[in-house]
């Protein structure tokens, strides 16, 4: 399953942080210097990655990470 940046809009914090971390490891070989934007607007919704109903924000707040890196593990 391969996703595009536009396929995932609403993301919970755990999924966004994990995807950002794995993306930085893949791209740069080290953890991210900044985990997420300092100011993000969250709202009640369903995470497009894990499907959990929780507080979600836009994927841009995690620097548009590669969610395919975690989708393979959780098999959504």
Q: Any idea where the domains of the chain sit in the sequence?
A: 7-29+38-74
pTM for the full predicted model? 0.85
Q: Predicted confidence band at 3 (pLDDT cuts at 50, 70, 90)?
A: low
43 vs 7: which has the higher pLDDT: 43
For 12, residues 6+ apart whose C-beta sits below 8 A from its C-beta are 47, 49, 50, 52, 54, 55, 56
Summary mean pLDDT of the chain: 90
Here the tokens at position 67 are: 């969610």
């Amino acid at each position: 399953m391969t996703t595009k940046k536009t396929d995932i809009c609403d993301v919970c914090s755990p999924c966004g942080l994990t995807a950002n971390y794995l993306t930085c490891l893949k791209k740069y070989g080290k953890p991210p210097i900044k985990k997420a934007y300092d100011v993000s607007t969250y709202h009640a919704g369903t995470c497009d990655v894990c499907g959990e109903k929780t507080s979600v924000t836009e994927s841009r707040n995690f620097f548009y990470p590669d969610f395919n890196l975690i989708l393979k593990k959780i098999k959504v």
